[in-house]
Chains A and B, each alone.
Chain A
Amino acid sequence: MDFILQPWSWFVSGFLIALLMFVLLLLGKRFGMSSNLRAFCSICGGGKVNSFFNYNWKKDSWNLFIVVGAMLGGFIASHFLSNGSMPDISESTKLALQDLNISTNNGYLPNELFAIAALSEVKTWLILISGGFLIGFGARYAGGCTSGHAISGLSNLQLPSLIAVIGFFIGGLFMVHVLFPFIF
C-alpha cells in the first residue's frame, strides 16, 4: 500500500502512459487531450460562428468520456492515493523558487497560484487566464499538445511532432528563464 501512496517513479509512469496509448490504438482511437477543447467550443455552439467548430464532435465523444475519467482519476488520486505533499523537486529549483516569492513549503501545486485565497489578487487571474489562453490557442495551432505530439506523434516518428515539441521547449524555456522574473 505504501507504494501506491508514494509518488510513482518516472519509469512506471512513462510505461503506463505508453500502454494507455497502445490500448487506445487497439480501440481504434488516437491519444490526444487538446482536441476536447475544440469539442467544447462546438458543444457551446461555436459552429454557428465559425466553420472550424462545425464538425461532427459526436464522433469524438469517446474522448469526452476520457476527460470525465481523467477528472475522476484526479479526484481519487488526490483524495485517496496521496497526501497532497509538494513534489520532491531538486534543491536548486527550490532556491530559484525563492526568487519568485513562491514558498518551498507548499502543496502539490503552489498556493501562490492555485489556492482559493490567491484569487484575491488580480495578478493571479492574469497569470491563469493568459496561461490557459496560450495553451488552448497554441495547442490547436500546432495541431496537438503534449499527448498528441510529444507522446503519440513522436512514437510514430513524425517530423512535424518533433518540430512542435521543439517549439514547446522554446516557448517553455523563454517563459521560465526570461519572462518569469518580470511576472513573479
Chain B
Amino acid sequence: MMKKVLYIVLGLVFGVIMYKSEAASWFRIYEMFRFESFHMYGIIGTALVFGIIFIQLIKRFNIKTFDGEPIVIEDKEKSIARYLIGGIIFGLGWALAGACPGPIFVLVGAGFVPIIIVLISAVLGTFVYGLLKDKLPH
C-alpha cells in the first residue's frame, strides 16, 4: 500500500515536471525539431548529464536499492534495424502529435480531451506492433 502511494507521488512529480517544463507542449516539440530554441535540448541535456553521474555513482560505489538488492542495469539488446526503424517511426509520431508517451498521460490529466484519441491510437499502435513483431526486421 505504501509503495503504491509512493509510485503515485513519483508519477505526480513527473507529471508536474513535464507540464511545467513545457516538455508536454506541442509547441516546444515543434520548436525543438526546428532547432529554434535551446529549451528542450537543455532539459534533455541536463537530465542526461545528471543521469550519467547518478548511474556512475551507483556503479562505482555499488549502491544498493532501498531493499538492499544490488542494482543491475541490463544492457540493451544489440541491433541497428529495430532501433533505427522503430526510432524513425516513433519520431514521426512524436513530431506530429507533439507528445511522447509520458506527456500523453500528463495531458490527459490536464483535461485536453482530444489527447485521449492519441492515447487510444498509441495503444492500438502497440497492439499492431505485437501482431507484426515476428515479420519485422529486428
The B32-88 residues at the A interface (CB cut-off 8 A) are: 32-34, 36-55, 58, 63, 65-67, 69, 71, 73, 75-80, 82-88
Q: Which residues from chain A contact B27 at a C-beta distance below 8 Å? A: 86-87, 89, 93, 97, 106, 109-110
Q: Which residues from chain B contact A18 at a C-beta distance below 8 Å? A: 46-51, 53-54
Chain B nearest CB from A4 CB (Å) reads: 8
Contact of A140 among B29, B69, B130 (CB under 8 A): B130
Q: Which residues from chain B contact A7 at a C-beta distance below 8 Å? A: 20-22
Chain B nearest CB from A110 CB (Å) reads: 6
Q: How big is chain B's contact interface, by range? A: 35 or more
Q: Which residues from chain A contact B53 at a C-beta distance below 8 Å? A: 18
Chain A nearest CB from B125 CB (Å) reads: 3
Contact of B7 among A26, A65, A79 (CB under 8 A): A65
Q: B-facing mask of A27-69, CB < 8 A → 1, else 0?
A: 1101001101110110010100110110000000011011111
CB–CB B119/A132 < 8 A: yes
Q: Known contacts A16-B13, A158-B76, A172-B95; is A71 also within 8 Å of B109 by CB? A: yes
Contact of A142 among B6, B43, B67, B82 (CB under 8 A): B82
Q: Which residues from chain B contact A77 at a C-beta distance below 8 Å? A: 15-16, 19-20, 106, 110
Q: Tell whether A170 is near chain B: CB-to-CB under 8 Å.
A: yes
| Max count, chain B CB within 10 A of own CB: residue among A21, A52, A141 | A141
Q: Known contacts A26-B65, A108-B25, A118-B114; is A135 also within 8 Å of B10 by CB? A: no
Q: B-facing mask of A64-85, CB < 8 A → 1, else 0?
A: 0111111111111111011000
Chain A nearest CB from B34 CB (Å) reads: 6
Contact of B66 among A27, A92, A132, A134 (CB under 8 A): A27
Q: How far is the CA of A128 from the CA of B117 in the complex (A)?
A: 6
CB–CB A90/B37 < 8 A: yes
CB-CB nearest in chain B for A139: B90
CB–CB B42/A10 < 8 A: yes
Q: Tell whether A122 is near chain B: CB-to-CB under 8 Å.
A: no
Which 7 pairs across A and B sit closest by C-beta, in order of nearness?
A: A167-B87, A73-B15, A69-B11, A171-B91, A14-B46, A136-B125, A132-B121
Residues of A within 8 A of B (CB): 7-28, 30, 33-34, 36-38, 40-41, 44, 46, 49-50, 52-53, 62-63, 65-79, 81-82, 86-87, 89-90, 92-93, 96-97, 106, 108-110, 113-116, 118-119, 124-125, 127-143, 145-147, 149-161, 163-177, 179, 183
* Additional 5 contacts, C-beta under 8 A, given A128-B114, A171-B90, A172-B95: A28-B69, A79-B111, A138-B86, A141-B82, A172-B29
> What are 26 A-B interface contacts by the 8 Å CB criterion?
A12-B21, A18-B47, A19-B50, A22-B54, A26-B71, A37-B101, A46-B130, A70-B14, A77-B16, A77-B110, A78-B19, A89-B30, A89-B31, A119-B113, A130-B93, A132-B119, A132-B122, A135-B93, A135-B100, A136-B126, A138-B93, A139-B122, A141-B90, A156-B75, A173-B33, A174-B91
